Amino acid sequence: MQNRKAARTTLTVRMRPGSPTQAIAQFGPLVFSAALGRSGRSAFKREGDGASPRGALGILAGYRKAALRSAITSGIALSRVTARDGWCDAPSHPAYNRRVRLPFSASHETLTRTDHLYDIVLVLDWNVTSRRRGAGSAIFLHLARPGYSPTEGCVALGRRDMLRLLPFLRAGTVVRIV
């Protein structure tokens, strides 16, 4: 019974054989293609290394682009983001690995992008609840580029797959990168 429950509460992400930057993600019986970081996976994640961190990362929060007009069914509340929302990736700044309001003077990512990767973003608990400067920031589950080209360290799913998965996810659902 315990293994069945874990399978329903864990999105397991495994490297696709022969491709360190692509993966197979499984949530119970659902199986999806996914993209990983440009440097593959790492047990020693560092800021800017382009690797997806190995480990069990709980889902903390979710965001959606405010301009999206279609309804999204999700088990996680998706806060709307606008062009004023960003994420600090400057290790020396007190807001490191936190959502920030733009304009923001330190290094950051903008949470609204023209390439649609962040139309739907789930924040994974990598270096968030227990922060270490320089250990990596902005590790998200977000939408993939065509062809599942590599991310900067996140896990990315196709839009259709993300929309299929969202109703089953909850805050605390674990994304296990193995």
Residue-wise pLDDT for 141-165, tens only, equals: 999 999 999 999 999 999 999 999 9
The domain limits of the chain are 2-177
H/E element, 160: helix 159-165
Quick one: pLDDT at residue 1? 44
The pTM of this model reads 0.94
Cα R_g (the chain), whole angstroms: 15
Residue 119 banded pLDDT, cuts 50, 70, 90: very high
State whether residue 125 is helix, strand or coil. Answer: coil
Percent of the chain with pLDDT over 70: 96
Using alpha carbons, list the distances in angstroms from residue 24 to 84, 97, 106, 118, 171: 34, 27, 35, 20, 22
CATH architecture of 2-177: Beta Barrel (2.40)
* pLDDT in the model for residue 7: 53
pLDDT at 135: 98
